[in-house]
Structure formats: C-alpha cells, structure tokens
Structure 1
Amino acid sequence: MADTATAQEFDILVLGGGSGGYAAALRAVQLGFSVGLIEKGKLGGTCLHNGCIPTKALLHSAEVADSARSAEKYGVKATFESIDLNAVNAYKDGIVAGKFKGLQGLIKAKGITVIEGAGKLTGENTVEVNGTTYTGKNIVLATGSYSRSLPGLDIGGKVITSDHALTMETIPSSAIVLGGGVIGCEFASVWKSFGVDVTIIEGLPSLVPNEDASIVKNFERAFKKRGIKFNTGTFFDKVEQNDDGVKVTLVDGKTFEADLMLVAVGRGPVTDGLGYDEAGITLDRGFVITNERLHTGVGNIYAVGDIVPGLQLAHRGYQQGIFAAEEIAGLKPVVVEDVNIPKVTYSEPEIASVGLTEKAAREKLGDDKVETQEYNLAGNGKSSILGTGGIVKLVREKDGPVVGVHMIGTRMGEQIGEAQLIVNWEAYPEDVAQLVHAHPTQNESLGEAHLALAGKPLHG
C-alpha cells in the first residue's frame, strides 16, 4: 500500500478501497479531482483477496483436476494422483499477490493518496482516520460486505465461512454447505472436484433460486450427475460439533453429518459503527439507502457497491464507482438497473445470465406478451468438443426486444458479454440473427438461439 497521506483536504474522499471504492478513485482522478482513498486492510478488498480472484483460481485448479481424471476420454493417457492443497494455495496466492501489486502500482501512478486505517464518517464532509480528520468536498462510501451467518449459528471450529475456506491447509473427506446460492455452489463444485463428499442444504425450493427455472432444472441435474448431493425446501435449525465433525439438524428433524460445514448464506453490509447513522444517512438492515443516482440524501455523500441494496457483485461495484465519480463531475451517466447487470456462477457447469427470467418477464409484461426460445448445446460443435451439455434460453417481449438471456454449460460465462449488449441495447432477435458468429465456438449458440427466435432456425 502507498505511504500514509499527508494532505488532509480532497475533492473526493472514498471510504473503502475495494472494487467500488478504487474504481471511483481511478475515474475521479481521470476527471481531474484530487482523491483520498481510505482503506483499513488491503487495496482490492474482498474481491481481490477473499472473493472473486482466489475462488476462481480454486475453480480453475478444480477444472484441471477434472480434466486430468477424464484425459483418456480425449485420447490422452494421464494418471490423476491427488490434490496438493499446498501447491493449489501457492498458485492461488500467487495470482492474488500479482494482481495486488499491480493495483498498488496503478493507484500510486495515478496520484491517488492512500490513507491507511479505519475511517469513520464524522460529518457531511469529514472522515476521521486514526485520530486525524480528512475533508472531502464529496464523499463516496464503499465499505463493502462480510460473510453473514444465521441467528444462533456461531462461526468457529468446524463451522467456517468462505474466508476460512480459502485458507484451508487440508481437504476434508466430507463437507456440508449451508446455502445453495452462488458462493455455496461454487465451493461445492470445487470441493467435489477435489474429492470431497459434498451436501448442500438450501432452505428455498431450489439451488441458485434467483436464476431462470429452466437453468435451475439443468443445473440441479448436472450437480446430481456429478454426485453433489443437495437438500432443498427445508431450513436449518441447529448445528452441533465435536472433534470428529459437525451434525446439522433441519427444522423437519432431518440430520446430516460431515467433517465440516461451510456457511454460505449471503453477505452483510459493513456499515455498523462507521458514523453513517449519526450523519443522517438512512439505513435498512445495515444497507445504505440511496436514490437511483447513488446519492444518500445527505450533503454530497454517495454510496456504491455491496452496501447499496441489490446485487453484490464486483462488477456492479466497479460500475457504480465509475458512475459516482461521473455524477460528481456533472457528466450525467446512464443508470444501469440491477436486472441488466450480468451474473455468472463459476461452478461446473457455469451459469451466466442477464435480464429478466421468464417468470419475471411474464409478471412484468403479461403472459401473452412473452416469447421464449431454448437452444440445446448438443447442437453446438465446440460444446461437443468440450464435452459439455446445457442450454441457451432467450426471453423476448412479443414482437419486441430480447429482455433476458440465460445460459448454462462449461465456460458459458465467457458468452455473457454479448448477452449483456443484446439486453442493454434492447436488440431484437432479428438484429442479432444477422450477426456472424465464428465457427466453431460456443458463442455460436447465442447466434443459433436468436436465429430460432427470429423464425429461421439454422439447425432446427
């Protein structure tokens, strides 16, 4: 991290150096503002050090392990021996260290003043750090989130969060994952590839409950095929642990036992004790309430990222950080609704989606105003080469634009860029159908789906 600041007055003070905070800082200096960036930990925040980057490194190690196991299927004679977790961690930590060093260099090169320490909002234009008061004509709150637990469920011993799961030194023989959302399913996927007997417990009726029903159906089928067990529709009651492991009891009396339990029930906002209440900022269950332009309603104070209700995604934080800086500069940036922000679950298989699900579209537009189209990856050459199944599902307003794209399959997250453009630019299937998609790529599946929805399926 850069040297502690000597200047105490800035055009913009950013409280938090994670995805949203450092994006706001970088865009602000581009726009000619002086910026103070306050961070008590490491620049990059959860995403770089305890979230996106290290978890995806683990997922890549898991993919390599699965490839080694199935090598003979592709005509390669190889023997899978074991997972060397120390080496996996060294690989993961090396990726994080490299990105951290690069970010530190970038922040320093751009002339952003880094203020080390825990900041507390003390007024409409002031933040106190280690006894020193810093002033900002504008303030951007970007204090991020933490791994939540449930009432009565204490973290410790054999009950861990994703933070602990990233630093494990041994691989358990069995694990229970409490929570079937993105984080829970990603760790379940990694651990299964590492040879762990995994069971997911999800209180809602399905895994990844925020995804389109067709995607959920395919995802659960794929997890069952992989041998990942899950129990949905019944909530957690209690957990007991001893030297041998954990015993989890659900409200219906059903019990599960394993070496450890990962609690993956979502993330809470880091706002407690930071002076937000005292400054008059409205909080709801700890989240900072803003208007659509990310203003808190107090002075020149904005909020971005995980502390703002909605999707808790690094790229949403980036976008909001850039938005806040441009809003302060008077550039009137375009508001991007959460529904039009892409989402990816980086498990095996991957889920990638943007826009309205079929259910949400029917609720918003009416049953008779929605058309859907599913394209099976069995018809895609590159998917067959990779040995993956799955679908691309399109949701369209009848005689109108595509309002949702939902995909599942190995590496399908790489297709979300075009899908985001389609939805955000309100493209019609007929518009996309005339675009040329390189062959053979999985990207062709998007083209084929739009051809079919436009009434001219190529292979259907």
Structure 2
Amino acid sequence: MSDPNAGYDVVILGGGSGGYASAFRAAELGLSVALIEKDKVGGTCLHRGCIPTKALLHAGEVADTTRESDQFGILAEFKGVDMGAVKKYKDDVVARLYKGLQGLVKAHKVEFINGTGKLVGPNTVEIDNGQKVTGRNVILATGSYSKTLPGLEIDGEKIIASEHALELTELPNKAIVIGGGVIGVEFASAWKSLGVEVEIIEGLPRLIAAEDADSSKQLERAFRKRGIKFHTGKFFEKVEKTGSGVQVTIQGGTVVEGDLVLVAVGRGPSTANCGYEEQGVNMDRGFVLVDENLLTNLPNVYAVGDIVPGIQLAHRGFAQGIFVAEHIAGLDPTPIDEAGIPRVTFTEPEVASVGLNEDKAKEKYGADKIKSVSFNLAGNGKSIILKTQGFIKLVSVEDGPIVGVHMVGSRISEQVGEAELIFNWEAYADDVAKLIHMHPTQNEAIGEAAMLLAGKPLHVHD
C-alpha cells in the first residue's frame, strides 16, 4: 500500500464500472492505486442499473412463462406476483455481486477510500473529510444520474426515476413511462410481464430511436401484441398529481392517467461540484471532453465512462478503464472504436446490435454502396421452440465488410458476441457464411443471414 503523502501512480475518482476496471487493471500492471467512491464500489450499474433491472426483467420472464406454460404442455397455475419477494431476489443478486467486488478490491490491493472527492489540482483529489490524495495520474469516473425535464419534478412517489422503480414493493395498476429509450422500454417490458398496465410517451418518431429502424418497428409490433401502449412523435406538455395518481397531457391534448409516472429521459453526466471546470478541464454540456486516448486537456488527467460523450454502457466503461490503465502503464493499447461496442435492450423481445444501423451506413458510405438482408427467425428452429419472433439483419458495404448487425428476438442478446467479432474483424459475408454454426441454436440464424447476403441462402423462402 502506498503512502498517500508520497502519492499514488493512479488516483481514480469514482468506483463504478469504468473506475474499478481501471483500478484493477492498473493494479495488475504493478501500479499503486487509490479508488475514491462516495457510495459503494460498483456504481450505478451494479446497484441501481444493469444488474437489478435485469433481475426484474427475469422475474417478469418467469411470470410470463408461468402464464403461458400450457402452450408447452406444462400445467401450472399463476397465482400472482409477490413484489416484496421479487425485490428480495433482486437485492440478493446485487448483494452477492457486491460482496465479490469488494473481495476483488482487496485482492488487487487497491486502496479504497470511501468519501466524496473533488479535483483540486491537476494531480490532487480532496475528500470531504479534508484528506488530500495525490497521483501521478488521475482518472475521472464519476458516472451519471437520472435526468428529468422542466415540469417533471421527481418526488420518488408519484413521479419517480429508475432508482425508485427498483425499490417498489407494491406494483401500480397502471404506470406511465415518459421516454421510449432503453430505460423506458425495459421497465415497460418488465412491468407488463409483472401485470402492470403500461403506456409510453416518446417525443421521437419511434421507440429506441438510436437503433436500426427495422429493430424499432419489430419491438413496436411486439409491444402492441403484448398490450403495451405507446405514443411516439409526441412530447408531454404537463404532468399533474391527482388524488389517486397522476395525469399526463401530451401534444395534441390527449390525457393519460395512471398511478405513477416513470421519468426515463436518459442519464446526465455526474460532473457538477467535482472541481473539473474550476481546474480547467474542457467540458461540453457537463460531459468531459477527451482525445482518442481518453486524455483530457490536462496532463495525465483522464476520463472514462458515462461522463465521456457517447453511449452510456457499463461494458464501455470497463473497456475504457482497462484502456486507460494500459495506456498509463505504457502498453500502447488500441483506441476503442465506439461503433464496435455491442448494444442490447433487454425487453421482450430483446434488441441487440453492433456497428452502424442502415441509415448511418448509407450516410457514411453512400446509399448505393449499402446492401442489407434480414433472416426471419420464423425459419430458425430454436426460435420456433422458444415461440419468439424477430430477425437477424446484416448491413454491408457492396463488395466489402459487414458494417452492422441488428437482431431482435427472445434471448437474442446471447448472440451479440459473434456480431461483435463480425464487425470488429471487418468480416465479409463469405467469411461468416463459411463458418459452421451449431444446430439447433439461434446462433445459426447469423450464419443463415450471412449465407443469404453471400448469395447462397439455405432456409429462406422466396
């Protein structure tokens, strides 16, 4: 353990995904590390985001499977949802992972400092107890928070954010979700499975608008079939609390009523009161600006995770944290290609993608240079067994590599690994078509799509 007065090789402000990944990798490389976190190591992802929401979604999947068990010849009775027990299951998952993470902090001999830190110099962080920690390198990793909008004052009861939604021990009869991005549609999907009536309000023209248009259409089709209502291309105008719940007025005058409103309009960078601007760090709307090596304009001061402009995902934070640690250690790692980061929306059905959507590919390469094909999961044996609908869509450059992989279907997220390899290794359709994909799996649908793109389809009907 280093003497804090002598300084560490690396001081990290924030113990979420990016922060602890950089701490572990730097320690593995023989560097002395101080990790400063005001709450618990693991950050939003472990405690208030990725892990607890996926536990909630899995509970919903079990509920749906129980209701529909007769379709598989299994006689089961669905008696309802014990939300208190669901919360305990979710909390137990988080607790187990948190305990393991605490063990890894000790195993890596990372100095963990619990407190709120502030950058007070180019190589110094001051803790709220007055302690100052210096490092030859500083990594800013303070994460993100749930955003809201004017007229949407979150009270934690009738107007809630995602962190409040995860602590519910009683389900509302009806929930209104403002925001049809990843967070909004995941909660809508989970709640519907658990028996809640859900209505989504999204100002953009379609749900999960950052994804390929075909993926959005497939999810919207599935949501309609499941009875999840949504309004797209319309913003909310006002939210009013009533004696029994809330009332939301949307553009055009339509009024929607429910027991509570979930505000899911995205996450903002947690950079306020951190000392960044005072120390001269270049910022843009609260985000920290960095170069391709994730270095700020200050010497030896880096930034990783949700405070860096770009898609806000835990595995992006992991990758950036590892990259920065290796860069500091002089290993010359390859800069991260943001387009090559896999993305998954864990709804029912799931939506997964890597690379460019079709519109972005046309913008980059020209519409006449882009070719896309879709393999319908109706032709995939495992998908029929799972009773899911969806597709695998490949977007490629004419006589060039596949630049986008887009997938929709139950459990389709498990196939995102090959999609990532296809994009990041700049594979051509012929390259993927030659691979032997296990039958019967959903994975072989990727092979079928590649065979179709290569001009030698197998299980495809005209």
Residue 95 of structure 1 is matched in structure 2 by: 93
Amino acid at match of 1:357: N
1:174 CA drift (Å)? 0.3
* Matched residue count: 457
Q: Answer yes or no: is 1:372 the counterpart of 2:372.
A: yes
Question: Which moves more between the two structures, 251-260 or 428-437?
Answer: 251-260
Residue 112 of structure 1 is matched in structure 2 by: 110
Describe how 1:279-298 pairs up with structure 2 within 5 A: 279-298=279-298
Question: What secondary structure sits across from 2:184 in the alignment?
Answer: helix
Aligned counterpart in structure 2 of residue 28 of structure 1, from 1, 26, 29: 26
1:236 CA drift (Å)? 1.3
**Deviation beyond 2 Å, 4+ runs, structure 1:** 4-8
Question: What secondary structure sits across from 1:293 in the alignment?
Answer: coil
Asked whether the 8 Å contact 2:2–2:32 carries over to 1, the reply is no
Asked whether the 8 Å contact 2:158–2:241 carries over to 1, the reply is yes
Question: What secondary structure sits across from 1:122 in the alignment?
Answer: strand
Residue 345 of structure 2 is matched in structure 1 by: 345
Instruction: Return the alpha-carbon distance in structure 2 between the equivalents of residues 184 and 337 of structure 1.
Output: 27
Question: Which moves more between the two structures, 311-320 or 149-158?
Answer: 149-158
Question: What secondary structure sits across from 1:407 in the alignment?
Answer: strand
Instruction: Return the alpha-carbon distance in structure 2 between the equivalents of residues 200 and 415 of structure 1.
Output: 28
Amino acid at match of 1:131: G
Asked whether the 8 Å contact 2:24–2:108 carries over to 1, the reply is yes
1:242 CA drift (Å)? 2.5
Question: What secondary structure sits across from 2:137 in the alignment?
Answer: strand
Residue 138 of structure 1 is matched in structure 2 by: 137
Instruction: Return the alpha-carbon distance in structure 2 between the equivalents of residues 41 and 340 of structure 1.
Output: 31
Q: TM-score, normalised by structure 1?
A: 0.98
Residue 79 of structure 2 is matched in structure 1 by: 81
1:243 CA drift (Å)? 3.0
| Consecutive unaligned residues in structure 2, runs of 5 or more | none
1:7 CA drift (Å)? 3.2
Amino acid at match of 1:134: V
Residue 148 of structure 1 is matched in structure 2 by: 147
Q: Answer yes or no: is 1:416 the counterpart of 2:416.
A: yes
Asked whether the 8 Å contact 1:5–1:114 carries over to 2, the reply is no
Describe how 1:58-69 pairs up with structure 2 within 5 A: 58-69=56-67
Q: Answer yes or no: is 1:310 the counterpart of 2:310.
A: yes
Instruction: Return the alpha-carbon distance in structure 1 between the equivalents of residues 335 and 252 of structure 2.
Output: 44
Asked whether the 8 Å contact 2:203–2:233 carries over to 1, the reply is yes
Instruction: Return the alpha-carbon distance in structure 2 between the equivalents of residues 237 and 292 of structure 1.
Output: 40
Residue 70 of structure 2 is matched in structure 1 by: 72
Residue 7 of structure 1 is matched in structure 2 by: 4
Amino acid at match of 1:354: V
Amino acid at match of 1:20: G
Instruction: Return the alpha-carbon distance in structure 2 between the equivalents of residues 458 and 234 of structure 1.
Output: 43
1:251 CA drift (Å)? 3.1
Amino acid at match of 2:142: T
Report Cα offsets for 1:147-198 as digits up to 9, x if no partner: 0000232001300000000001100000000000000000000110111110
Residue 215 of structure 2 is matched in structure 1 by: 215
Residue 174 of structure 1 is matched in structure 2 by: 174
Instruction: Return the alpha-carbon distance in structure 1 between the equivalents of residues 237 and 330 of structure 2.
Output: 51
Instruction: Return the alpha-carbon distance in structure 2 between the equivalents of residues 289 and 422 of structure 1.
Output: 30
Asked whether the 8 Å contact 2:148–2:265 carries over to 1, the reply is yes
1:337 CA drift (Å)? 2.1
Report Cα offsets for 1:245-291 as digits up to 9, x if no partner: 00011232221100000000000000001100011101111000111
Instruction: Return the alpha-carbon distance in structure 2 between the equivalents of residues 264 and 295 of structure 1.
Output: 31
Instruction: Return the alpha-carbon distance in structure 1 between the equivalents of residues 391 and 152 of structure 2.
Output: 38
Asked whether the 8 Å contact 1:56–1:346 carries over to 2, the reply is yes
Q: Answer yes or no: is 1:448 the counterpart of 2:448.
A: yes
Amino acid at match of 1:74: F
Instruction: Return the alpha-carbon distance in structure 1 between the equivalents of residues 336 and 396 of structure 2.
Output: 19
Amino acid at match of 2:42: G
Describe how 1:177-216 pairs up with structure 2 within 5 A: 177-216=177-216
Instruction: Return the alpha-carbon distance in structure 2 between the equivalents of residues 431 and 72 of structure 1.
Output: 42
Question: What secondary structure sits across from 1:189 in the alignment?
Answer: helix
Residue 39 of structure 1 is matched in structure 2 by: 37
Amino acid at match of 1:133: K
Amino acid at match of 1:359: D
Asked whether the 8 Å contact 1:5–1:115 carries over to 2, the reply is no
Asked whether the 8 Å contact 2:20–2:35 carries over to 1, the reply is yes
Question: Which moves more between the two structures, 326-335 or 430-439?
Answer: 326-335
Asked whether the 8 Å contact 2:152–2:263 carries over to 1, the reply is no
1:5 CA drift (Å)? 9.2
Instruction: Return the alpha-carbon distance in structure 2 between the equivalents of residues 225 and 12 of structure 1.
Output: 52
Instruction: Return the alpha-carbon distance in structure 1 between the equivalents of residues 22 and 14 of structure 2.
Output: 10
Instruction: Return the alpha-carbon distance in structure 1 between the equivalents of residues 276 and 2 of structure 2.
Output: 23
1:75 CA drift (Å)? 0.3
Question: What secondary structure sits across from 1:36 in the alignment?
Answer: strand
Question: Which moves more between the two structures, 192-201 or 4-13?
Answer: 4-13
Instruction: Return the alpha-carbon distance in structure 2 between the equivalents of residues 210 and 75 of structure 1.
Output: 39
Instruction: Return the alpha-carbon distance in structure 2 between the equivalents of residues 6 and 389 of structure 1.
Output: 58
Amino acid at match of 2:24: L
Report Cα offsets for 1:113-170 as digits up to 9, x if no partner: 0011000000011000120111000000000000000023200130000000000110
Report Cα offsets for 1:188-209 as digits up to 9, x if no partner: 0011011111000000000000
Instruction: Return the alpha-carbon distance in structure 1 between the equivalents of residues 238 and 280 of structure 2.
Output: 38
Amino acid at match of 1:90: K
Report Cα offsets for 1:4-47 as digits up to 9, x if no partner: 99734200000000000000000001111000000010000000
Describe how 1:325-336 pairs up with structure 2 within 5 A: 325-336=325-336
Instruction: Return the alpha-carbon distance in structure 2 between the equivalents of residues 409 and 251 of structure 1.
Output: 32
Residue 248 of structure 1 is matched in structure 2 by: 248
In structure 2, do the counterparts of structure 1 residues 221 and 11 end up closer, same or farther at CA, with 3 Å as the change threshold?
A: same
Instruction: Return the alpha-carbon distance in structure 2 between the equivalents of residues 252 and 20 of structure 1.
Output: 43
Instruction: Return the alpha-carbon distance in structure 2 between the equivalents of residues 387 and 152 of structure 1.
Output: 42
Asked whether the 8 Å contact 1:304–1:317 carries over to 2, the reply is yes
Instruction: Return the alpha-carbon distance in structure 2 between the equivalents of residues 365 and 452 of structure 1.
Output: 21
